[in-house]
Every structure is written in C-alpha cells, then in structure tokens.
C-alpha cells in the first residue's frame, strides 16, 4: 500500500492492531521514502534501517498474538539529541564525531518499550541552538514547503523532526524544546508540536543545552497523535531528579473537544507594534472560533513579557557554557592532534564547535564570570521569577492562554540576519512559557497569502497538558486546516 504514509499515527496504530497492514510494511514505506528524498530534504543524519526492520518484525510477532501495546509497530524519528545505545548520536555537532552512547535515553527507551520502531536520527541546529536548522554541522534541512519554488527553512532547532513529519517521512518525530524548538518548527512546517511541562519527561540521556529549560516532546500531524505520544513518553524517572513524581493521565482521553465555559486568556503584550497583520488575523480567527465553541475569552496582561527574550538569552547561554564544558576531546568525540593537553583542548574545541555554539559559550562564560554574575545572571534569574509569576497570576483567572507561535512564516535560505539578535527574535512568543516551565503546543492556524503555514500557540498551567491538548483539539476541529506540504 503506497498511501500508508498518509495515515495519521492513531490510524497506523489502529490499522496495525486490526492487521490491515504489517509493521514491516509500514517501516519499509517510510524507509524507502526517506532514501528517495534524502539528498533533497536532509532531514536525517542517520537512518537505522536494520534496527527499524528488526523492531518492526518483533512488533508484528506481538501484534499477531494480540499483544500489541501503546504504539506497537509505529515508526518514530528521533531528534539526534537523544542518546541511543550503540547508534551514532551527534547533536549535529562536529565535536561529537563518532560518538555512540553506551546507554539509551529514558524517553526513547519508553518509546521502544511501547512498541515504537526507530527510523533514524534527525537533523537539528547544532546542540539545539538555533531557529532555522542552518547551524547544523550536517548541513541545513529543507522544509517540504516552498515559496515561489524556492526552498524554505523548516525552523529550529528540531528542524529535521518537523520536516520529516510534514513530508510524511515519519508520523511522529521526537523533538526537544528549550526556548521554542518544538513549537516554532511545528509552526513553520504546518504541523503540531507540544512541549510538555518542565519535569513531565525525563531529561536523562538527552544531550544537555540549558538544563533548567530543556524538555522533550513530540511533533505530529494532529493533536490526537501528540496526546498518544505523550502517553508513552512522560513519567517520573529516578535518573532525573527534576522529573516530576506525578502520575501520567491518559492524555488521549482528555480530547473531549468540549471547551464550553473554559476561560481562554489573550495577553495584550503579545501584540507588539508593527506585528505582521496576517498573524494578527489568524490569532483573531482562533479567538473567534474558540468563542463560538463556547469558551470565554478573557483579556489578560503578562507585564514582564518584554524582558523574556533578554532573560532567556542570558540564562540559556549560561547553562550552555557550563554543560558544554565537558567536550574536551579526551574520552569521546573529536580530538585534534596537539603537543600538550591545553593545546589539545583548545584545538579540539576550536574545530569542533560551530559559530553559534561558540558565541553562546562566550556569552554564557561572560555572564557567569565573577565581575558580571550579579549584573547579568543573577538579574536574569530574578526577572525569570517575575515572568513565571505573571503566568501564575493569569492562571488564577484563565484555563489556557492563546497566542501566535512565531512572529513570521518560514523564511528562505537567502535570509541573512544583520546580527544574531534578529534570529533570536523568532523565539519572542515561545520563550516566556519556557522560562516559566509551562506546557505549550503549536497547531497550524492557517495559511498566509503566500500559502505558507502560521502557527497558534496554547500555553497551559503546569502539569495541565490535558487542558492544553483538549483546547488545541477543539481549535483544530474548528479550523479544519487542510494545508499540507507533501
Ligand atoms: N531558538 C532558540 C535558541 O536558539 C530555542 C532553541 C531550543 O528551544 N532548543 O536558543
């Protein structure tokens, strides 16, 4: 069946259980398409055909006995930031050359335990730092969406994940989100991406960027598929002290589609002067549809929003400079030849890291240095608390908050920001929820006049992914987004 790849994840799961097709057939359909499109899209850094077929065979054996559980037999792409045992893990960086972890990340292990089939490791911005997937050592990823025949970026940092799902190379891909890296690429590629609450998923075995912000989450083609994936990804893990000791609800059951009486906050600070009118119009449409579905719209204020981007770009580089200090060429990855240990460190790190990663390490080391710690890092931590407190107050009045996901649609490869801050502006609507550790989802909100997708973001209370998913599901039903790239 050539159209197997067009099915949603939930239809794949149900079709496998009903034995309408096999897990091997499903894996092969995806693997063949990945091979065919690889030279063009560049979504995968490593394709794990042998592992996929072996896992699919095992799934078929279980399904034949009626033992299929969770997502038994469903193909999954994995952002190459998750450590996968004995499988090359690069973080899209030269410095991790040849690194094959001796252990499996908790989230990926959860997925294999639930019957997922690994297609391979997906391209990303180097160490998940970026908004365009242009900082990867393995080259940029092309979105399956184009503008006037010209290629576009898929967003970042989970750009390979978003492009793979939009191009039907996988029904789901794992991403990570530190400041927007699941939600912004989902928005650029016309798909769904959810960052759960900080602590919902274990970070164990995920290459660390900024540990107080990093979270795993799925990118899928609809909200139900995201809920199904969260069911298998989330949960407490003794190996991650920041993972929450909370039971994981059945997120799929939360999708009632009923939002009557739900209070949806609209923050005035997300409407800056000069905002793209098409994004505003899409946002207004989302408001109108939720109102028609019976939700109550409440104007709210998150007064410290204007400091979020600056705060994020102090906290995230600070943590990155500390986390990336481990890459020294000694035990794994790249090692540059040198005559002394110090020279080896210097040469390895000079050759191994790209420009953006070096910039962040330098900013981070600076804001943590003795003379500047109080002025920058400590101040940023204080402001972070104020930003989180804005949300706490707002959530005394509302159940979820609706905003756009990104300030623009996807851009082309000719886009050359005059300075790095211009690229950082992509994250303006996503970083506040990250700093507050809150769950956020991006769903396709519509197409702009050039036919490119724009995303709507819903932010929820801590550990209330159920409301976020349910409101997103209701909005998805009302919007009937039909745009697709492939
Ligand atoms: N674009 C943001 C950054 O470059 C977010 C990255 C992320 O969420 N991993 O830091």
Mutate to test the pocket of ligand 1, among 156, 215, 314 (most ligand atoms within 8 A of CB): 156
Q: Which of 10, 22, 59, 79 is catalytic?
A: 79
**Which ligand 1 atom lies nearest to the CA of residue 130?**
4
**Which ligand 1 atom lies nearest to the CA of residue 312?**
10
331 domain-assigned: no
Quick check: 394 pLDDT over 80? Answer: yes
Quick check: 486 pLDDT over 80? Answer: no
Look up 157 and say whether it is catalytic: yes
For residue 209, the CA-to-ligand 1 centroid distance in Å is 9
CB–CB of 205/83 below 8 Å? yes
Average pLDDT of the segment spanning 183-211 = 98
CB–CB of 177/168 below 8 Å? no
Q: What is the pLDDT of residue 413?
A: 95
Cα–Cα distance measured from residue 142 to residue 415, given in angstroms and rounded to the nearest whole number? 14
Closest Cα to atom 10 of ligand 1? 129
421 domain-assigned: no
- Per DSSP, the residues of 149-184 read TEEB---SSSHHHHHHHHTTS-SEEEEEESSSTTHH
For residue 260, the CA-to-ligand 1 centroid distance in Å is 35
Q: Which of 10, 157, 202, 243 is catalytic?
A: 157
271 domain-assigned: no
The total number of structural domains in the chain stands at 1
Average confidence score pLDDT of the chain: 97
385 domain-assigned: no
Beta bridge partners of 87: 84
**Which ligand 1 atom lies nearest to the CA of residue 434?**
8
**Per residue in 425-482, pLDDT tens?**
899 999 999 999 999 999 999 999 999 999 999 999 999 999 999 999 999 999 999 8
Q: What percent of the chain has pLDDT over 90?
A: 94
Residues with CB under 6 A from ligand 1: 128-131, 157, 177-181, 209, 316, 427
The pTM of the full predicted model, rounded to 2 decimals, is 0.98
Look up 181 and say whether it is catalytic: yes
383 domain-assigned: no
**Which ligand 1 atom lies nearest to the CA of residue 313?**
10
CB–CB of 452/234 below 8 Å? no
Q: What is the pLDDT of residue 1?
A: 42
For residue 129, the CA-to-ligand 1 centroid distance in Å is 5
Cα–Cα distance measured from residue 400 to residue 351, given in angstroms and rounded to the nearest whole number? 45
414 domain-assigned: no
From residue 81, how far is each of 107, 136, 137, 221 by CA, in Å? 11, 12, 13, 21
Look up 79 and say whether it is catalytic: yes
243 domain-assigned: yes
Q: Which of 438, 459, 388 is nearest to 199 (CA)?
A: 438
Mutate to test the pocket of ligand 1, among 158, 320, 427 (most ligand atoms within 8 A of CB): 427
For residue 304, the CA-to-ligand 1 centroid distance in Å is 20
* pLDDT-derived band at 416, boundaries 50, 70, 90: confident
For residue 243, the CA-to-ligand 1 centroid distance in Å is 21
For residue 173, the CA-to-ligand 1 centroid distance in Å is 17
**Which ligand 1 atom lies nearest to the CA of residue 209?**
9
CATH number at 134 reads 3.90.1300.10
Quote the domain boundaries for residue 230: 4-256+460-479
79 domain-assigned: yes
SS3 341: helix
């Amino acid at each position: 069946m050539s159209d197997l790849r067009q099915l949603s994840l939930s239809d794949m799961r149900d079709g496998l259980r009903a034995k309408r097709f096999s897990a091997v057939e499903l894996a092969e359909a995806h693997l063949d398409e990945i091979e065919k499109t690889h030279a063009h899209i560049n979504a995968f850094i490593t394709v794990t055909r042998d592992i996929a077929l072996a896992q699919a065979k095992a799934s078929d054996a279980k399904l034949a006995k009626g033992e299929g559980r969770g997502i038994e037999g469903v193909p999954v792409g994995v952002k190459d930031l998750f450590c996968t045992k004995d499988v090359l893990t690069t973080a899209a960086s030269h410095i991790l050359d040849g690194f094959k972890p001796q252990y499996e990340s908790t989230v990926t292990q959860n997925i294999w335990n639930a019957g997922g089939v690994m297609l391979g490791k997906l391209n990303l911005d180097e160490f998940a730092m970026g908004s365009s997937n242009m900082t990867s050592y393995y080259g940029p990823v092309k979105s399956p969406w184009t503008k006037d025949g010209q290629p576009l970026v898929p967003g970042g940092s989970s750009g390979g994940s978003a492009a793979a799902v939009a191009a039907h190379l996988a029904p789901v891909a794992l991403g990570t989100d530190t400041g927007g890296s699941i939600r912004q690429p989902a928005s650029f590629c016309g798909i769904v991406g959810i960052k759960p609450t900080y602590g919902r998923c274990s970070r164990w075995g995920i290459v660390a960027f900024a540990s107080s912000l990093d979270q795993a989450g799925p990118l899928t083609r609809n909200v139900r598929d995201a809920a199904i994936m969260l069911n298998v990804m989330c949960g407490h893990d003794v190996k991650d002290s920041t993972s929450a000791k909370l039971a994981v609800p059945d997120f799929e059951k939360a999708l009632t589609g009923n939002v009557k009486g739900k209070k949806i906050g609209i923050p005035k600070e997300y409407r800056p002067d000069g905002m793209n009118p098409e994004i505003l119009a899409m946002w207004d449409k989302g408001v109108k549809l939720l109102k028609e579905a019976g939700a109550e719209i409440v104007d709210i204020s998150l007064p410290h929003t204007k400091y979020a981007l600056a705060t994020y770009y102090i906290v995230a580089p600070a943590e990155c400079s500390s986390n990336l200090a481990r890459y020294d060429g000694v035990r794994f990855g790249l090692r540059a030849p040198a005559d002394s240990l110090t020279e080896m460190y210097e040469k390895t790190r000079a050759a191994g890291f790209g420009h953006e990663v070096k910039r962040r390490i330098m900013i981070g080391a600076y804001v943590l240095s003795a003379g500047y710690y109080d002025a920058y890092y400590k101040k940023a931590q204080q402001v972070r608390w104020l930003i989180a407190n804005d949300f706490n107050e707002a959530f005394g009045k509302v159940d979820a908050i609706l905003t756009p996901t990104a300030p623009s649609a996807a851009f082309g490869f000719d886009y050359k920001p005059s300075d790095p801050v211009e690229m950082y502006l992509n994250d303006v609507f996503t970083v506040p929820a990250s700093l507050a550790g809150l769950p956020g989802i991006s769903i396709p909100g519509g197409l702009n006049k050039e036919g490119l997708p724009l995303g709507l973001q819903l932010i929820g209370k801590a550990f209330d992914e159920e409301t976020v998913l349910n409101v997103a599901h209701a909005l998805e039903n009302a919007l009937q987004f039909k745009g697709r790239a492939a």
